[in-house]
A and B are shown apart, each in its own frame.
Chain A
């Protein structure tokens, strides 16, 4: 197990480099030039631009720029924004906690409500409650989060006037309640459906018949035999979903005006601040990689047939 974890951690390095390189290259391909943008509309001396480019290392070949960037990143240096001269670490330190809170909020909501609903429906396939849940989740999945977000905003803020249309204080848990529900609703629907399908399928498995025939108590059959086998696909989904939730937050944040990662990425993209985008993306990639390792370790706990060599 320890060796497996060590190997996986080592394997993460090329994946991390690959993902960040891909994003780095895409940012490099972006039209527009941050140094030119710095000059604004006024006339400028081309040699000034050249000097700034040289100071920033933007005249180097792309691979060297990437190596420099990665070298800095390993030492915890995210670089500095070109226009504002702000350290990118500051921007990240400001934006990330907000989004992480929003994501965790949404994730908890997804896990509790999603698996709960899935189990309720999956235990009785084709019953009224099963069909009801399938319909409800279908409706949720078919509403893109911006639709749900604006509907909720219109309904709760403009019609009922229960909350303000946008989040006033991105630090407050109460203010993040509505955005978190909007953010988590899509994953919730997927989790509920996945749990339900997986359980309905496993209900017919041979080991279930055996367990029932052995006269095991119902709680044990459902809790140990059925759940353990049914949750494997759900756990995979949840693991890969954290990264999606963190980026799904881009949409939710833009609807409710939360000052999180989405806000920061948008600003950086419009101002062509490549380093900021790559920095934020790198962190999200790390979060994703660690959660997927966790998922793979959970596999072995859930399904002993899977062994790690």
Chain B
């Protein structure tokens, strides 16, 4: 029985047995051990979904880092006399009037270009904060169990009991000045619970697995068990939730800004623009639709990216 257990540990750790077996049969020469990550990279390079989303994200990152490269118009220049609600001039690529002017005579193209920074920063920042905090809490609670689990789970429950949007609404109204950092911290403060629960759940399942029991019997330290045996095996659902959530956070930031409690003027943000555009929905739908499309495309690229990475990293899904 012990030998059998050890055998199982071998196969589980060395990735999926089926592709491994196939590889040795087909090409013994290329049988040098590939790590999970290089394997994933091989997979990703051939995935069109990944390539498209990676290019889009790269573009968005450049847009966020150096908006001046894309337009010479200023997002805050308003000329009511000449440009009030001027519809898009589709042929005039990348010019100030390309996407028309909003109700205050500001170039929508310039606003859309400059609005990228806020969304990207909030999305990535919140995801990182939430992933680290949530995984730490979830792993500690799930692995050690007992009173530590009870306390951490109750704290998680308290935070989870406050619905996200309601909590964010209340937290953010307490701030008079809402910068990108304030919005980011407020969102992370309320958002870590889901990852914590997911991590806790999978850690509880994994810690009963034979390879963890075996590692313990072999005298591995708690840190080693947590980092080498539990974390890698618990990571898949955490990555899935995090990557899907990244897009969600960008959407949430836009929603909060749209509701008037997120970012606010003079910060240039897509959510703020959607919010101003809704007054003219009937006459000038493009004022609302263009920043909405930007939000959606951004969220979509991050979602596709996350999806591709998930498929590549999770050998179970192959």
Closest partner residue, chain A, to B240 (CB atom): A197
Stretch of B74-82, B110-118, B135-143, B250-258 contacting A (4+ beta carbons < 8 Å): B250-258
- Chain A residues within 8 Å of B316, by CB: 201, 204
Bound Cα distance from A16 to B194, whole angstroms: 18
Bound Cα distance from A4 to B278, whole angstroms: 50
Stretch of B60-68, B220-228, B280-288 contacting A (4+ beta carbons < 8 Å): B280-288
- Chain B residues within 8 Å of A19, by CB: 158-159, 161-162
B169 in contact with A285 (CB, 8 Å)? no
A97 close to B (CB within 8 Å): no
Counting residue pairs across A and B whose Cβ atoms lie within 8 Å, the total is 144
Bound Cα distance from A125 to B316, whole angstroms: 13
Contact of B161 among A142, A146, A289 (CB under 8 A): A289
Bound Cα distance from A248 to B170, whole angstroms: 14
- Chain A residues within 8 Å of B288, by CB: 150
- Chain B residues within 8 Å of A158, by CB: 281-282, 285
Bound Cα distance from A145 to B258, whole angstroms: 11
Contact of B259 among A139, A150, A250, A277 (CB under 8 A): A250
B295 in contact with A138 (CB, 8 Å)? no
Secondary structure at the B interface, as helix, strand, loop or mixed, is helix
- Chain B residues within 8 Å of A201, by CB: 316-317
Closest partner residue, chain A, to B168 (CB atom): A247
B170 in contact with A23 (CB, 8 Å)? yes
B171 close to A (CB within 8 Å): yes
- Chain A residues within 8 Å of B298, by CB: 142
B195 close to A (CB within 8 Å): no
User: Taking A142-B299, A144-B299 as contacts, is the C-beta distance between A269 and B173 under 8 angstroms?
Assistant: yes
Bound Cα distance from A193 to B303, whole angstroms: 12
B92 close to A (CB within 8 Å): no
Stretch of A27-35, A50-58, A63-71, A172-180 contacting B (4+ beta carbons < 8 Å): A27-35
- Chain B residues within 8 Å of A277, by CB: 170
A229 close to B (CB within 8 Å): no
B174 in contact with A147 (CB, 8 Å)? no
Closest partner residue, chain B, to A250 (CB atom): B165
- Chain B residues within 8 Å of A144, by CB: 251-252, 254-255, 258, 292, 295-296, 299
User: Taking A141-B299, A142-B299 as contacts, is the C-beta distance between A247 and B163 under 8 angstroms?
Assistant: yes
What's the minimum C-beta distance from A27 to chain B, rounded to whole angstroms? Answer: 7
B interface residues (Cβ-Cβ under 8 A, vs A): 154-155, 157-167, 169-171, 173-174, 176, 194, 197, 201, 240, 244, 247-248, 251-252, 254-255, 258-259, 274, 278, 281-282, 285, 288-289, 292, 295-300, 303-304, 307, 316-317
Between-chain CB contacts (< 8 Å), 26 pairs = A11-B154, A16-B161, A23-B162, A26-B171, A138-B303, A141-B303, A142-B296, A142-B297, A142-B298, A143-B251, A144-B252, A144-B296, A146-B292, A147-B292, A147-B296, A197-B240, A240-B194, A244-B164, A246-B163, A247-B164, A254-B259, A277-B170, A281-B162, A284-B163, A288-B161, A292-B160
Give me 16 other A-B pairs in contact (C-beta within 8 A), A22-B159, A142-B251, A204-B316 excluded.
A19-B159, A19-B161, A23-B162, A29-B174, A30-B170, A141-B248, A144-B252, A144-B296, A146-B254, A146-B292, A153-B281, A154-B289, A243-B161, A244-B164, A244-B165, A288-B161
